[in-house]
Structure 1
Amino acid sequence: MDYPIARRPGFDPPAEFAALRAEAPMCPVSLRHGQRAHLVTRYDDVRAVLRDHGRFSSDPSTPGFPQLRPVVDREAAPGSFLVTDPPEHTRYRRMLTGEFTVRRMAALRPEVERITAERLAALRSGPRPADLVTAFALPVPSDVICLLLGVPVSDQEFFSTRSRAHLDRSLSAERVRSALEELHGYLADLVRARRADPRDDLISRLVREPGLSDEEAVGMTVLLLVGGHETTANSIALSVLALQRERAWWDALVADPGLVENAVEELLRYLSPVHHGVVRAVAGEAAVGGTALGAGDGVIASLFAANRDPAAFPDPDRLDLRRNARAHLAFGSGVHQCVGHLLARLEMRVALRALVTGLPDLRLAVPFEDVEFRFDAPIYGLRSLPVTW
C-alpha cells in the first residue's frame, strides 16, 4: 500500500483506516522515496509510540526515519525541536515552555480577542460573498503569531506563501527548498536585528538564551511561525465548514456560545488537521500492538486514524459537540506534544465564539460539494470557503 493514502473531499479519513485498525493495525506501506515503513492506526498503539521517546526517535538521522516530504531530511536542522530527541529536544523546549503557559495565554487573550474582533469587523463590512479563509481564518492566527514573535504584520503575505510552499507535498524538492531558504533568510535578518535592538517579543527573549546560536534561533522561529498559523488557520476554516455541513450544531453554538470550549475539542478530534501522521524511527528494539520492530524500522503514527478509533471514541465518525473528546491526539502526545496547543485552543475558541455571536446567520455561499479541499500538505485545509450572511 502506498502512503499517504489518497483523500476524498470531506472530513472523513480514508476508508482504508477502519479496515486497517481491525485487520492490520501495523501495516507495511511504501513511501515516496522508495522507503518502507509501518503505519500505526489504533489509538492505544499511536499513543504508545508517541509517548515512548526512548525507543522511537524523531531525529531524521536515525536509520529508517520515514521521509514524507519532497526534500529528504538527512539530519535535524539547528533549532528544529520537532525533529530532535532528548536531551537536545529538552533544551529547546525548556526555552519555549514559559511562552505558552496557561497564565501567559490568559494574559494574551485580550489581544487575541482584539485581533479577532478587528478581522471580523473587516469581514462584515466587506463584500459578500466573502472568502472566510483569506478574510478571517488565516489572518487571525497570523496576526497573533506575528504579535508574539515580533514579526511585522506587513510581511504576513511573504511568510504565509513561503510556509505553505514549505508544507506543500505536491511541489518539487527544489521549490520546497527555495521557499524554506527564503523563509530562513528573512528570519535570520530578524534574529540579527533583535540581537542588536531587543524588544518585548519572543524572538528577543530567545536570542537572550545562553548558548543559543543565531542558526538555532532561526530554526526554532521557523517552526513557531509555520506551525503557529498554518494549523490553526486550517482548523478554524474546517470547523466552520463542518458546523455549516451539520447546521444543527452551528445553531446550537449560536443558542449557547458557552458550548464552544467543548466543541473545539470535538472538532479537533473529528477533523484531525495533521492528517498524514507523525513519523518515528525505531532506535533499538520495540513492539507495537504485538508486532516486534527492530532498529532501522520506520513508523508512521496516524493521528487521524487514532482519533476515529471506536475503541477510544464510540461512534467516532459522528460529530458530537457534547462529547468528552479531550483525550484526542490532534496535538500529538508525550514530549513532542505541540508546544503551542494552548494557543491554538485559545484562538479557535475566540474565533468560533466571535463568529457564532457576531455572524449568527453565516452560511455557505456555494454548495458543500463545490468547496475545494487542500490535501497536498501534512496539515489539510480548504483553498477557500465562500460564505455570506
Structure 2
Amino acid sequence: MSDAISFEDHWARTHQFDPPAIFDSLREERPLAKMVYPDEHVGWLTTSHELARKVLSDPRFSHNMETCHFPTTHWGELTPNSPEIPGMFIYMDPPNQTRYRRLLTGEFTGRRASQMTSRVEVMADEQIKAMREHGGTADLVEDFAEPLALRVVCEVVGLPYEERDRFAHAPKIMHNPESKPDEVGPAYEQALTYFFELIERKRQQPEDDILSRLVSDGQLTDEEICNMVALLLFAGYGTTGPALAVSAFALLHHEDQLAELRADPTKLDGAVEELLRYITINQYEIFRTALEDVELNGETVKKGDTVTVSLPAANRDPAKFGCPADLDIDRDTSGHMSFGYGVHQCLGQNLARVALRVGLAALLREFPDLRLAVAFDEVPLSLKGSVFGLKSLPVSW
C-alpha cells in the first residue's frame, strides 16, 4: 500500500494538453504501478505504450462489468458492478462481444466512412453558416463541434436530428462529471423510451441506416437494439465532439503548426492523427480485470486485480514517440492508441476521422484569421469526466 498511488493522481493535469506529470516518473521507474481504486481495491496502472498494448490484447484480461473495479467515481459516487446488459457489448468479452460487434463491423469500414465525406462536408458548411450568424464571435463547442458530431452520428445510426431534444441531452449529462446523480437516470430512461419508439417506426418504415438494418435483420431483441443504439450515440457523440473542439484549441495555441497546416492542407490527414495522439481525450476509463494470475513486467497481477490502462500516458511514451510532449503534424504517429487496442478498439474510428478531417478543413478554409476570443488559460476545461473536453471555446474571426 505504501507505494500505491491514488486513483486521483492520474486526474491531476498541470497543463491544458499534457497528462499528469506523475506519468513520466511512473513510466521511467515502474510502468506497472500499484493504484488504490475508489472502492479501496489495490490494483494497477500502466503508463507505457508496450504494457498498454499487452494488457488490451491479452484475452486473460476481461472488460466485464460484473467483476471489475472502476478506476473513477461518477458524480462523486462509486460505480456499482452490474451483470451484462443485452446489447451493451463494450462491457462484454468474446464470444458475446464478438456476436454483437460483428453485426456492426461492416457499417464502419473505411470505405463506408469515405462515402460519408461529402455528406459531412455539407453538414460542416451548414454549421459554419450558423457560426457566422453570431457575428464575429462564437463558441466553437456549442456552435460547431458538438452539433456537427451529433449530426454525423444521427445520420449514420438513423436518429432524426430534428428530434434531438428527445435524446441528445442524455450523453451530455452522463459524460458531465458535474451532473447530479438524480439527473442521470431520468435522462437515460427518456432516451431509451424514445429509442424503443423509433425502433417501431423503423420496423414500419425502414430507411438506409444502421437502426433500420438491425431491426430488419431480426437477430436481436428490441432491448438489445435499443442498448446498441445508446452505445453508438454515447460513444460517438460523446467523444467526436470533444475531440474536434480540443483539436481546434490545440492548433490555435500552437500557431507554428497551424501556419504549417494552412500553408499545406495536404498535411491534414497526418495532422488529425497527431492531434488524436497529442490530446488523447479518452482519459481514465480503459481498464481490464485479470481472469487468472498474469505475469506482467516482472509483477504478478493476481486473478481479480483490475489494471487501468492510461492511453494518454501510452501516447506520450518517449520509447515510442520522439519528443512526445510536442505537437508535430509531420511526425510518424503509427501505433498511437487514441482509439484503444485489441478487440475493443473503437468501432467508429474511421467515421470519427472523417468528422475531424472535414470539420478542421472547414474551419481552416472559412476562417483564415480564426483565433481565440479569450486568453489561452481562460478556456474552461472539462477534466474530471472520462473524456477530456472543453466546456466552451470562445473564438473570433
Same fold by TM-score greater than 0.5: yes
Give the secondary-structure state (helix, strand or coil) at the position aligned to 1:29: strand
The separation in 2 between residues aligned to 1:186 and 1:115, in whole angstroms, is 24
Cα pair distance change 1:222/1:73, threshold 3 Å:
farther
**Alignment correspondent of 1:68:** 72
User: Is the 8 Å Cα contact of residues 374 and 381 (structure 1) preserved in structure 2?
Assistant: yes
Q: Which amino acid aligns with 2:124?
A: T
C-alpha separation between the residues in 2 aligned to 1:13 and 1:321? 19
**Is this contact kept in 2: 1:66–1:299, CA < 8 A?**
no
Amino acid at match of 2:49: Y
- Find the aligned partners of 1:72 and 1:186 in 2 and give their Cα distance: 26
Aligned to 1:2: 6
Q: Which amino acid aligns with 1:24?
A: R
Looking at structure 2, the residues matched to 358 and 228 of structure 1 have their Cα atoms a distance apart, in angstroms, of 25
C-alpha deviation, 1:206, in angstroms = 1.1
Alpha carbons 1:272, 1:307 under 8 Å: kept: yes
Match of 2:62 in 1: 57
Report the counterpart of residue 19 of structure 1 in structure 2.
25
Q: How does 1:21-60 map to 2 (within 5 A)?
A: 21-52=27-58, 54-60=59-65
Partner residue of 2:197?
189
Matches within 5 A, 1:237-316: 237-316=245-324
Please identify, of 352-361 and 120-129, the stretch whose mean Cα deviation from structure 2 is larger: 120-129
Matches of 1:58 and 1:381 in 2, distance apart? 24
Q: 1:382/1:157 Cα in 2 relative to 1: closer, same or farther (>3 Å)?
A: farther
1:152-191 maps to which residues of 2 (within 5 A)?
Answer: 152-191=160-199
Aligned to 1:341: 349
> Structure 1 stretch 197-206 or stretch 93-102: which is displaced more?
197-206
Q: Is the 8 A contact 1:237 1:382 kept in 2?
A: yes
Is the contact made by 1:269 and 1:330 (CA closer than 8 Å) also made in structure 2? yes
Contact (CA 8 Å) 2:31, 2:47: kept in 1 or not? yes
Inter-partner Cα distance in structure 2 for 1:101 and 1:359:
31
Q: In terms of mean alpha carbon deviation, does 4-13 or 230-239 score higher?
A: 4-13
> Which residue of the partner structure matches residue 329 of structure 2?
321
Single out whichever of 166-175 and 34-43 deviates more from structure 2: 166-175
How far does residue 108 in structure 1 lie from its aligned partner after superposition?
A: 1.1
Q: What is the DSSP-based 3-state SS (H/G/I as helix, E as strand, rest coil) of the residue aligned with 2:322? A: coil
Q: Distance in 1 between matches of 2:35 and 2:284?
A: 13
Q: Which position in structure 1 is the counterpart of 2:365?
A: 357
Tell me the SS of whatever aligns to 1:305.
helix
C-alpha separation between the residues in 1 aligned to 2:217 and 2:38?
Answer: 39
Cα distance in 2 for residues equivalent to 1:65 and 1:217: 27
Given the alignment, which residue of 231, 238, 241 partners 1:230?
Answer: 238
Any conservation in 2 of the 1:133–1:233 contact (CA below 8 Å)?
yes
Instruction: Verify the 8 A CA contact 2:123 2:151 in the aligned structure 1.
Output: yes
Percent of aligned positions with the same letter in both sequences?
39
Following superposition, the deviation at residue 158 of structure 1 comes to 4.4
1:81-160 equivalences in 2 (<5 Å):
81-160=89-168
Counterpart Cα distance in 2 of 1:95 and 1:66: 28
CA distance in 1, matches of 2:69, 2:204: 39
Once residues 304 and 199 of structure 2 are traced to their aligned partners in structure 1, the CA distance between those partners, rounded to angstroms, is: 37
Tell me the amino acid that sits aligned with residue 232 of structure 1.
T
- What CA distance in whole angstroms lies between the structure 1 residues aligned with 2:372 and 2:177? 29
- Range that drifts further, 110-119 or 64-73: 64-73
3-state SS of 1:208 partner: helix
- Take 1:223 and 1:73, find their aligned partners in 2: how far apart are those partners? 18
Normalised TM-score (structure 1): 0.95
Output one character per residue of 1:239-261: Cα deviation in whole Å (capped at 9) or x when no partner. Answer: 11111111111111111111110
Per the TM alignment, residue 176 of structure 1 is displaced from its structure 2 partner at its CA by: 2.8
Moved more, 141-150 or 194-203: 194-203
Do 1:95 and 1:209's aligned partners in 2 also have CA atoms closer than 8 Å? no
2:44 is paired with a residue whose SS is strand
1 CA distance for matches of 2:226 and 2:71? 23
1:306 shift after superposition: 0.3
Given the superposition, is the C-alpha separation of residues 96 and 275 from structure 1 closer, same or farther in structure 2, using an over 3 Å criterion? same
> Aligned partner of 2:342: which letter?
G
Write the distance in 2 (CA, Å) between the matches of 1:168 and 1:386. Answer: 19
